Chain A
Amino acid sequence: MQDYFRTIVDAIQPLLRGEEIFTCSFHGEESDFVRFNRAAVRQAGAVVQRFLTIDLIEGRRHAAGTLTLGGDGEGDRARLAHLIGELREMRAHLAEDPYLLYATEVHSTERRRDAVLPGGDAVVGAVADAGAERDLVGIYAAGASHAGFANSFGQRNWYTAPSFNFDWSFFHDADKAVKASYAGTVWNAAELERRMTSAAEQLAVLARPRRALEPGRYRVYLTPSALFEIVGVLSWGGFSLRAHRTKTTPLIKMVEEDVRLHPSVRIVENTVDGIAPDFQDAGFLRPERVTLVDGGAYRDCLVSPRSAAEYGVATNGASAGEAPLSIDVGPGGIPADKVLAELGSGLYVSNLWYLNFSDRVACRTTGMTRFATFWVEGGAIQSPVEVMRFDETIYRLLGEKLIGLTSEREMILDPGSYFQRSTDSARLPGVLVDDFTLTL
């Protein structure tokens, strides 16, 4: 797709008039999706999509438009010309935008990853074999994701990252299930089998009678996958400059009252070790790392170009939503193989689900346990438990009630695919927490 992006970008400049300039961004993918239920194929297919967004600027007046490119050359150029004409017409009705900010220094980059992806038959066959005697449900998504940027100043950025992400569950019955995934760039049938076997071993535990828990406070271990959900809800404005300046950040107590998390908590937007593009839609490059929380104290925000202009600070290449794309929570000192012993008696929570705020100002969140959640006694897993609702503030969870974080971390590649396949990722430890509040 890079060659086509270049071709289209070359077609933009001749369409401009007078003092007009442009920035444009591109997001595309060539994806296979195979959806499974009970190890049979529910839906299978392929999608090729290419979205081009142009900001047409003259002085401080501008309007933006997005076009789905067909990849057919002449047709796309005609649609592009129409769009630019329409943006020009819209711009005539607009006042100057005081918060317009775009990159003017040229920093061209190119980032490509290699991958070895399997054919569709291999995936369907492998899953059918693995699921022959198990209730398997999930999604296999694979193919290349592309992103690009170009502007009138000659900056060109490109990103291509082929990958696969097989995200599945083994069900015992009803809601008793084990969640697993296999994601990466080099498909290895033996590795898939290893992960299938590991998930199946947990599945065996789920066959034991389920324990009903009363609402109350429990010592819990949250796996990296569970912590991923918690930092996900924190990212709803928690690290955004605009949310901080408009006082809507859920971490407002850290900002206004210097409330702190546990000193061992360090949260970084770690672009260099993530898989997201290192440039954004106005042409700014992201720094390798932005430290968001350090030693439990709030440190830096993610700053989009628009917020930078509005609040008079420098941008650090954040996207418009100012949410982390490659979040990284620092490790602690609990070896992974000592987690159950350190937990002693309590809950081992594999996954959390459907988090939201019950009191945003207090950064109090609610959500559900999901998939494999086990009752542990004497450092050994005893039985699965019914799904439970929690309601807890981040200041207790990652603050006063945090016992520790694991020394090993997991890299999680977001399987999300709203509008396009996600390139978000996270590197996270597990966390051991005391007095975790279950409410229902």
Chain B
Amino acid sequence: MHGLPDSVDLDAVAARFRAVAPAVDFWSLRLVDERNDRLAVRRGVVHPPHVSYDSGAMITVWRDGGVGYAGTSDLTASGLSRAAARARDWARETAGRHVLGAVGWRPHVGTGEYVSEVQTPWAGAALADKLALLRTEAERLHTDERIVDWEAGLWHTTLDTLLVTSAGGRVRQHFQFLVPSMSATANSGAETQTRTFGGHAYCRQGGLEILREVGFCDAAPRIAQQALELLAAPNCPSAVMDVVIAPDQMILQVHESIGHPLELDRILGDERNYAGRSFVTLDMFGSYRYGSELLNVTFDPTRTGQLASYGFDDDGQPARREEIIARGILQRPLGSSSSQARAGIAGVANARAAGWNRPPIDRMANLNLEAGDSSFAELVRAVERGVYMETNCSWSIDDSRNKFQFGCEWGRRIENGELGDVVKNSNYRGVSATFWRSLAAVGNRDTLQVLGTPWCGKGEPNQVIRVGHAVPACRFTDVDVFGGA
């Protein structure tokens, strides 16, 4: 349908499965067909291009109160049949002991389709042209002998999924993702500083038009210059002061101290052995003041072009925009339909799986902080003494998602409402439960950037997934800021 000529015919696989499907209470089949292309040029040398094809099936079986799954890459009728038998075995072993069996939950999947919007298809550009672009941009990073390492890269993904159920559900989705990257490392003696193109934050759904939208071809000289400036910069000052945080750090702030603590499976305890629990409890929804009146957070997979836009989650639930925090008050958790059934609370369509070999769990999708009304100049002008920080380079937070510490690549002093000298090793720490109440100003739409991360880790077995965050710059008061050793 949407894939490349060599992609798997998912409908044909689903037809094969239906012919061998087990006689059970309910089954679902989720098919995944993914192609990744990775290109990079480092220190003037083209890294060998890498292409990968990954396709497989996740079969889930409900039987007598038990639920079992089996993931297989053998998409023949016999392979699917063997996997179904394995899933049925696990359903039998867990009967009477399964969390979902206890609440009688199973997915109710309708029909529908979703397709990423693409203007300039990845496949339409020649490999030679893409490598030439990367060669050019990488070379523009090498502006000085003190730049000791420099690299530019592109990572493109085409993903097709098909979810069908024994009750006639059918959801077909086609995605295309692009993750551009760029970095320059400057060194002098035992001092080294690295500046990047927002880490991997400039990732979106779409095609090569994203490079124009995010300014990929304008970035190299600035990145190289800033790496050199950091080399000579003093450490970030240490004091309690105001901070203005750029969108490519705000995404981590939102991700770690709003997104993860609001995941309903964490609140229900599923993640306590690995990713952690949450300081948020079920009784807080509808009344808890999470942040200042300026804090408005939405879950919105329906927003076009973000990294985690979709029409349906991996349990087949239709995506809808939902208010998560409104005027600082907590509204609803990031909980999928199975977690909602367990907790007895409304949530969102966020059951997502990292691939065919992992079952869906509650994830962020596009979790966005809504723009306010302050221009960037107004954000800075209001600070008497503080620091402006860009681009996350370090993140750490406790297992309840409360005590955090983040570090940024690039900082500038703010003195009397003016941006001042560059500082290195800019860090700040705080506590989620109180930090958002110090949100003093939210940037307007001119400061908002559509960003994300392709690397959100969670779950047992472990899963890494794509998450989108559209966020403006923000100002916080009385933050514990500090620099390097």
**Chain A interface (Cβ within 8 Å of chain B)?**
31-33, 35, 37-38, 40-51, 55, 62-72, 75, 79, 82-83, 86-87, 90, 93-95, 97-100, 120-121, 124, 128, 135, 137-139, 141, 167-169, 171, 174-175, 177, 179, 246-248, 252-253, 256-257, 353-362, 364, 366-368, 370, 387, 389, 391, 393, 416-419, 421, 439-440
Contacts and interface: CB of A to CB of B under 8 A. Distances in A.
A65 to B, nearest CB: 5
Contacts of A247: 148-149, 185, 187, 192
Contact of B425 (A90, A246, A359): A359
17 contacts: A31-B461, A44-B67, A45-B69, A46-B70, A46-B86, A51-B54, A64-B48, A72-B75, A97-B46, A137-B270, A139-B460, A174-B277, A179-B273, A248-B149, A248-B185, A367-B396, A368-B396
Given A40-B102, A75-B76, A137-B270, A65 B394 contact: no
B397 A354 contact: yes
B185 A246 contact: yes
A370 B276 CA distance: 10
Contacts of A257: 190
Given A49-B71, A68-B53, A256 B189 contact: yes
Interface string B96-114: 0111001000000000000
A246 B357 CA distance: 37
A230 B245 CA distance: 29
Contacts of B274: 139
A175 B277 CA distance: 7
B269 A65 contact: no
B438 interface: no
B216 to A, nearest CB: 21
A354 B398 contact: yes
B127 interface: yes
Contacts of B393: 357
Given A38-B269, A419-B464, 17 more contacts: A43-B69, A47-B461, A66-B51, A68-B73, A70-B74, A72-B74, A97-B45, A121-B93, A124-B93, A179-B273, A356-B394, A361-B191, A366-B396, A366-B405, A387-B399, A418-B457, A418-B463
Given A68-B55, A124-B93, A45 B87 contact: yes
Interface in B295-350: none
Given A47-B71, A171-B272, A389-B429, A355 B89 contact: no
B48 A46 contact: no
A79 B72 contact: no
A121 B96 CA distance: 12
B166 interface: no
Interface of B: 6, 45-46, 48-56, 60, 67-76, 79, 83, 86-87, 89-90, 93-94, 97-99, 102, 126-128, 131, 148-149, 185, 187, 189-192, 194, 268-270, 272-274, 276-277, 357-359, 361, 393-400, 403, 405, 407, 425, 427, 429, 431, 457, 460-464, 480, 483-485
A168 B273 contact: yes
A426 B213 CA distance: 45
Contact of B48 (A47, A63, A361): A63
Contacts of B270: 35, 37, 42, 137
A159 to B, nearest CB: 20
B396 A354 contact: yes
Contact of A49 (B56, B75, B79, B403): B56
* Interface residues of chain A: helix, strand, loop or mixed (majority): strand
Contacts of A83: 51, 53
Contacts of A97: 45-46, 48
Contacts of A356: 394-396, 405, 407
Nearest to B61: A45
Contacts of B75: 70, 72, 75
B404 to A, nearest CB: 9
Contact of B399 (A72, A141, A370, A417): A370
Given A49-B73, A124-B93, A138 B273 contact: yes
A353 B53 contact: no
